[in-house]
Amino acid sequence: MGRLFGTDGVRGVANADLTAELALGLSVAAAHVLGEAGTFEGHRPTAVVGRDPRASGEFLEAAVVAGLASAGVDVLRVGVLPTPAVAYLTGALGADLGVMLSASHNPMPDNGIKFFARGGHKLADELEDRIEETYRGHASGEPWDRPTGAGVGRVRDYTQGFDNYVAHLVGVLPNRLDGLKVVIDAAHGAASRVSPEAFARAGAEVVTLGTKPDGLNINDECGSTHLDKLRAAVVEHGAHLGVAHDGDADRCLAVDASGAEVDGDQILAVLALAMREAGGLRENTVVATVMSNLGFKLAMEREGIRLIQTAVGDRYVLESMKDNGYALGGEQSGHVIVLDHATTGDGTLTGLLLAARVAATGRSLAELAAVMERLPQVLVNVPDVDRSRVGSEAELRRAVEEAERELGATGRVLLRPSGTEPLVRVMVEAADIDHARSVAGRLADVVKRTLG
C-alpha cells in the first residue's frame, strides 16, 4: 500500500479507496497524534468539520465526526462550506483541528480528507506521517485508548459558520463593488451559497450559475475547469466580469466582459499591482510556481516586482510565503493565497479582490489583465518513460540547451517528471504558438528516445 497522504490530504474514489472505516480511523489517529504532540494540553480539544456537497460527504462526515468524538474531541459541524472557510473558522474559533471533506476539482465519485492544524494552517508533513503511521498500527489490530463517560467528545452544529465567514470576506475588501454586475459559477460546489452572498453583500449585482448542488452534479461541465457557460453568460447579461470556482472553492478563474479567460497568472499580476499600490505587497515580492507563464515573469520584471518561483503545488507556494513573510502567491490554475486574510487559497476572496480592483479603478478587467501578455504555452505528456533519468541523460540536456538558445529571451523550456505516473511533461513557451509546438514536439521525441 502506498502513502495515504498526497500533496493535498488523502484522496480517492469514495467508498472504494476512501471508505468510512478509513475516514474514522484517520480521524482517531489525528486526535491521538495531536494530543501526543501537546496540541490539546490543558484543555478539552475542539475540531471544526466541514464538507463540500458530494453525496459521499454525508457518510464520510459522519465517520470523521464519530472518530473525533470517540477520541474525546468536541466537534463543531459547519456543514457545506468551502475549504478556506473551514480553515478560517478553525483559526477564528480557536479550534485545535479542522477537517475538510472534499476532492476539490475532481469528479463527483472522488472525495478526500484534509486536516488543518490550530490557526487554520496545513498540517506539517511530519504530523501527517505520524497520523498515517499511527493509523496503520491500529488498523493491524492494536487497540485504541478510548475515553468513556464525560470524556467522550460532544457534537453540535455550528450554524453561524456561514455568516461568520461571509462577514470576514466582505470585511477585508478595500472598497465596495457597487455598480458592478458579476456572474458567478460555483460549480455546484461548496461556494454555491457563500460566493453569491458575499458578492451581493459587497454591493455587486449577481447572476449565478452552478449554484444548485444535488450531491451528484459537482464540477459537472461547470466551474473553473469548464468555462464555456460562464463566458456565454457574461456576454449575455452584459456583466463586467465572471468568476468561476472549483468544487471546494479554493480556486478562482475569471472571464472579462468579452468572455475572454483571465487565468491565475493574470489575476496574480492584477492583485500584485493593487497590493503594491496599497502598501500591502511585502518585500515587493510575489510567489508563483515554475509553471507560471513566462509572460507573468516578464510583466513582474517590467513593473519592478520581484518574483520567487517554487515547485508546482500551492503547498510549496505557501511554504515560501510563510517562511519569508511574503503576502501574495499563487498558481496559474487559480489557487491564489493572500496571506494577510487567508491561510490557504481562497477562491471567493480572490474573486472579490479582483472585482474590487475593477470597481476602484473604473478600468475593465481586460484592461487590468493586459498588464501581462500571456505567451503561447504548449504542454506535451510523454508516457511510459523513466522519469527518474530526466536530469542525467546528456543527449536530452543538449536538446534542451539547444531549444533554449533557439527560443531566446521570449521563450522557455521546462521538463518536469510526473509525481505520480511514469511520464515526463514537456512544457514550451514561445512568442508564436507554432514555434512552441514545433520545439515541444522535437523535445518530446528526444525524451521518448532517451528515457523510453
Pairing between strand 285-289 and 261-262? Answer: unpaired
CA distances from 377 to 331, 372, 433 (A): 15, 14, 7
* Structural domain includes residue 3: no
**Which residue, 215, 185, 328, 230, is CA-closest to 270?**
328
pLDDT digits (tens, 9 = 90+) for 306-318: 999 998 888 899 9
| Residue 144 pLDDT exceeds 80 | yes
CATH classification of the domain holding 401: 3.30.310.50
Residue after which a domain boundary falls, among 142, 159, 176: 159
The pLDDT assigned to 303 comes to 97
Among 164, 154, 162, 161, which residue's Cα sits nearest to residue 46? 154
Q: Is residue 436 part of a domain?
A: yes
Average pLDDT over residues 32-45: 91
Judge whether 344 lies within some domain.
Answer: yes
Instruction: Give the end of a domain, one of 313, 341, 369.
Output: 369
pLDDT tens digit string along 325-374? 999 999 999 999 999 999 999 999 999 999 999 999 999 999 999 999 99
- Helix axes of 20-36 and 56-70: crossing angle, nearest 10 degrees: 40
Closest CA to 412 of 288, 293, 265, 266: 293
The pLDDT, as a whole number, for residue 313 is 82
Report the C-alpha gap between 155 and 76 in whole angstroms. 6
Check whether residue 155 and residue 179 sit in a common domain.
no
Residues 361 and 381 in one domain: no
Secondary structure (3-state) at 106: coil
Indicate if 150 and 168 belong to the same structural domain.
no
Same domain, 360 and 310: yes
Mean pLDDT of 142-167: 95
What is the per-residue pLDDT for 113?
Answer: 97
Q: Give the pLDDT score at 417.
A: 84
Indicate whether 138 belongs to any domain: yes
Residue 346 lies in a domain: yes
Distance from C-alpha of 260 to C-alpha of 91, rounded to nearest angstrom: 37
Residues 281 and 329 in one domain: yes
Q: Is 125 annotated as a binding residue?
A: no
pLDDT at 419: 67
pLDDT at site 446? 92
Mean pLDDT of the chain: 94
Query: Residue 48 corresponds to which amino acid?
Result: V
- Amino acid symbol at 175: N
Number of Cβ within 10 Å of residue 308's Cβ equals: 15
Domain assignment present for 4: no
Q: Are residues 260 and 209 in the same domain?
A: yes
Judge whether 92 lies within some domain. yes
- For the stretch 158-189, pLDDT in tens is 999 999 999 999 999 999 999 999 999 999 99
- 248 annotated binding-site participant: yes
Residue 5 lies inside a defined structural domain of this protein: no
Residue of higher predicted confidence among 418 and 300: 300
Q: Is 27 a catalytic residue?
A: no
Give φ, ψ of 374 to 5 degrees.
Answer: -80, 110
250 annotated among ligand-binding-site residues? yes
Among residues of the chain, what percentage have pLDDT more than 70? 99
- Nearest Cα to Cα of residue 3 among 127, 132, 100, 98: 132
- Whether residue 119 is found in the same domain as residue 139: yes
Position 385 scores a pLDDT of: 86
Which pLDDT belongs to residue 391?
77
Beta-carbon contacts of residue 285 (< 8 Å; ≥ 6 apart) = 305, 306, 307, 308, 324, 326
State the residue range of the domain holding 57.
10-159
Q: Is 292 annotated as a binding residue?
A: no
pLDDT for residue 141 is more than 80: no
Taking a C-beta distance cutoff of 8 angstroms, is the pair 410, 431 a contact? yes
Give the per-residue pLDDT at 402.
92
Label residues 32-62 b or e (16+ Cβ within 10 Å = b).
Answer: bbbbeeebbeeeebbbbbbbbbbbbbebbbe
Residues whose CB is less than 8 angstroms from the CB of residue 136 and which lie 6 or more positions away in sequence, other chains included: none
| Pair (231, 344) in one structural domain | yes
Whether residue 143 is found in the same domain as residue 275: no
Is residue 341 domain-shared with residue 192, that is, in the same domain?
yes
| Final residue before a domain boundary, out of 98, 124, 159 | 159
Q: Give the contacts of 207 (CB within 8 A, at least 6 positions apart).
A: 181, 182, 183, 184, 233, 237, 239
Say whether both 268 and 312 belong to one domain: yes
In this structure, the chain runs to a length of 452
CATH of the domain at 260: 3.40.120.10
For residue 246, what pLDDT band results from cuts at 50, 70 and 90?
Answer: very high
CA distance 197 to 2: 41
Domain count, the chain: 3
More confident residue, 9 or 141: 9
Distances (CA, A) of 367 to 278, 353, 390: 19, 16, 40
Dist. CA 399–CA 434, nearest whole Å: 18
CA distance 408 to 412: 8
Say which DSSP state 184 is in.
E
**Quick one: pLDDT at residue 289?**
93
The verdict on 36 and 90 lying in the same domain is yes
* pTM of the full structure: 0.92
In this structure, are residues 77 and 156 in contact, taking their beta carbons and an 8 Å threshold? yes
Q: Considering 27, 56, 104, 195, which one is annotated as catalytic?
A: 104
pLDDT for the residue numbered 420: 63
